[in-house]
Structure 1
Amino acid sequence: MELMRREPQSSMAGGTGSRCPVLLLLLVSVAARVASGIVTDGLLPNGNFELGPVKSDLNGTRVMGENSIPNWEISGFVEYIGSGQTQDDMILPVPEGAYAVRLGNDATIRQKLSVTRKTTYSITFCAARTCAHAERLNVSVAAESGVLPIQTVYTSTGWDSYSYAFRARHSTAWLTIHNPGHEDDPACGPLIDSVAIKALNPPRLTKGNMLRNGDFEEGPFIFRDTAWGVLVPPMDEDDVSPLPGWTVMSDTKAVKYVDAAHHAVPRGARAVELVAGREAALVQEARGTVPGRRYRLSFSVGDAGNGCEGSMAVEAYAARETVRATYESRGNGSGSSKRAAVEFTAIANLTRVVFQSYNHHMKPDGTLCGSVVDVSLYFGRWGASG
């Protein structure tokens, strides 16, 4: 994969003197957040790694001390990477600011979080592959852990934002990001940047709607200055979801959580883009359906306005019924979204609702894309059978 070059920010060009005001502001910001105790929505302290090791703690780019990166503990082969740095014939970009870290063989970064017990949180961070073919990351908080496959690249820059969720069992928790890979080149591994947290509100049912978070308004933190959304990775059904109420079923593929600030969204401020074709499904178990009673599942489909063109189709499943909603996308979000519905008879007290793209789509730059889905407030009873 060819990674695009990003030039160092102009604030770094003037040498040590020009960096002092920036570093002072960062130090003041970090100190204020640490003093406040519980982390708030947004970047973790030094979550963008702009505060780095002193030169004596570096061997080239490798970080030698366990506590050399402020607010983080490290182990294994961890590198401190500057924007535009090269490795062989490859340029290593940084998506935000001037620095990131690279996790080589068996490398780990971790930070201790102050959290509120019994609250659900999502973690969002940016990651990019470098030289390994099957890179993956283990993300864990306390006793909960998950493996995020990062083999598939969903942006032309090579960087993607990933989400992970956990429920706080205690007032403190260690967030750990670990590369379990072992390559011939010990430095080979993913780049990490911009680690953020967000407290998730429990999804609530609204009148006339039997889906939780059906409009997708509650979800992981989206970085304001990134236009590529946040990937919600595949998970087991008993995992905590960064998209409350919903589970992503797949082996290695994800769905993309997008916002109205950077994408065309059918309704409200958030939606989901089905970027992996039939290889990933968005699933929810709707509770309280009555066997034998008729229901109607309604939803909207559209294009994200991100250059994804062509004849698109979304399949929705509920109980034993299926509907395929087609949509002709011009890729610019100018067309109004299309409403579709499937009527079905409940066969149990739990009804599985599934959304899936019917086929694969790619943008002109070769990255995966797909239809945008917004379910909104339309899942409800409309009559009885017989």
Structure 2
Amino acid sequence: MNGTRVTGRYAIPKWEISGFVEYIGSGQKQGDMLLPVPEGAYAVRLGNEASIQQKLGLTRGMHYSITFSAARTCAQSEVLNVTVSPESGDLPIQTVYTSSGWDSYSWAFKAKHSVVTLIVHNVGVSDDAACGPLIDSFAIKTLQLPQRTKGNMLKNGGFEEGPYIFPNTSWGVLVPPRDEDDYSPLSPWAVLSSTKSVKCIDSAHYSVPGGARAVELLSGMETALVQEVSTVPGRSYRLEFSVGDAGDGCAGSLAVQAYASRGSVKVPYQSQGTGGHKRGVLEFTATEKRTRVVFVSMAYTMKTDGTLCGPVIDDASLVTVRTHRRLFL
């Protein structure tokens, strides 16, 4: 160590570092700024072009989700690149969704080898080499490929399969946007946006309409939650879903707009911020062999602490509407 800077490449057990990496204690200050640590006594800060990596033994061909916590410090536009060769993706952390300054992020991939290297790299360059995101609390989870259940054409309609959520944190896990062809922690749902995320929440810390998990749409019309399903052109379908609030103080006029084929419906929900939900229904006729089911929050909403929040979506189902014809003789 040289002050807070880690000078040994293998000085942090099980990890290998490169570049300007600091070992930050809880409550440490940088000028007038307090550097918080979400769990335990220490976290790592990645300065200019710094990275931290660890080898993982996995099952080839399986899908996995990485969860870790990160906080922005003195740089305004911070981006972390996560790589498990040959896959890689950028996680923008400009927007902070908690009053503590910490958010947990998830990133999914398919293991191409039995031994892989997880690399987290700060791609930003600041005038101050010490400026960069704090990272802490890593976990990895095997993801099961969701299957269709009887009576529902959507997979993972209740969002029960998703990223690892740390049991002793109360801020959920962000699922950042990725290309549609990439594997999502909420697969087969894709998060479409330029820089904004959705939040996977659990019933242990939030109000959830059904089951153990749901998704909170945090970023208004900047983010869409999308799943593509096989349909028969000319056939009628009914989409049903729950809209509510997470019981986290997100009060006000919330609304979710659902789209499928040429149909759409807006489901308003007046939230008191204490939990609750209502059902929305959209009936439509398919025009293509593949139909996108899309959910979008229609407004930006903030809690009293100034952090973004939004409506909760859960228990989505898609079924064929049977039409009955009578033959008159």
**Shorter-normalised TM range:** over 0.9
**1:348 is matched with which residue?**
288
Matches within 5 A, 1:41-56: none
**1:217 is matched with which residue?**
160
**1:296 is matched with which residue?**
238
Asked if the contact 1:345–1:385 (Cα under 8 Å) also holds between the matched residues in 2, the reply is no
Displacement of 1:170: 1.0
Identity %: 65
Matches within 5 A, 1:131-210: 131-210=74-153
Structure 1 residue corresponding to 2:301, chosen from 361, 380, 384 = 361
**1:241 is matched with which residue?**
184
Q: Equivalents in 1 of 2:202, 2:193: separation in Å?
A: 23
| Pair 1:111 & 2:54 matched | yes
Asked if the contact 2:209–2:315 (Cα under 8 Å) also holds between the matched residues in 1, the reply is no
Matches within 5 A, 1:84-103: 84-103=27-46
Larger strand share, 1 or 2: 2
Runs of 4+ in 1 over 3 A off after TM superposition: none
Q: Equivalents in 1 of 2:112, 2:44: separation in Å?
A: 29
**RMSD of aligned residue pairs (Cα, Å):** 1.0
Matches within 5 A, 1:47-66: 58-66=1-9
TM-score of the two chains, using structure 1 as the length reference: 0.83
Q: Equivalents in 2 of 1:89, 1:275: separation in Å?
A: 30
Matches within 5 A, 1:28-39: none
Gaps spanning 5+ residues in structure 2: where?
none
Cα offsets for 1:85-108 (capped at 9, x unmatched): 000110100000000000000000
Q: Equivalents in 1 of 2:153, 2:323: separation in Å?
A: 16
**2:202 is matched with which residue?**
259
Larger helix share, 1 or 2: 1
Q: Equivalents in 2 of 1:350, 1:130: separation in Å?
A: 44
Structure 1 residue corresponding to 2:267, chosen from 301, 315, 325 = 325
Cα offsets for 1:343-377 (capped at 9, x unmatched): 0001112110000001000000000000000034x
**1:381 is matched with which residue?**
320
Displacement of 1:383: 2.0
Count of aligned positions: 325
Asked if the contact 1:292–1:347 (Cα under 8 Å) also holds between the matched residues in 2, the reply is yes
Structure 1 residue corresponding to 2:215, chosen from 268, 272, 278 = 272
Q: Equivalents in 1 of 2:258, 2:296: separation in Å?
A: 7
Q: Secondary structure in 2 aligned to 1:375?
A: strand
Asked if the contact 1:134–1:151 (Cα under 8 Å) also holds between the matched residues in 2, the reply is yes
| Pair 1:78 & 2:21 matched | yes
Gaps spanning 5+ residues in structure 1: where?
1-57
Displacement of 1:384: 4.5
> Match for 1:257: what amino acid?
C
Q: Equivalents in 2 of 1:249, 1:384: separation in Å?
A: 34
Q: Equivalents in 1 of 2:190, 2:71: separation in Å?
A: 24
Q: Secondary structure in 1 aligned to 2:321?
A: strand
Matches within 5 A, 1:221-232: 221-232=164-175
Asked if the contact 2:58–2:111 (Cα under 8 Å) also holds between the matched residues in 1, the reply is yes
Q: Equivalents in 2 of 1:118, 1:347: separation in Å?
A: 35
Q: Equivalents in 2 of 1:313, 1:258: separation in Å?
A: 18
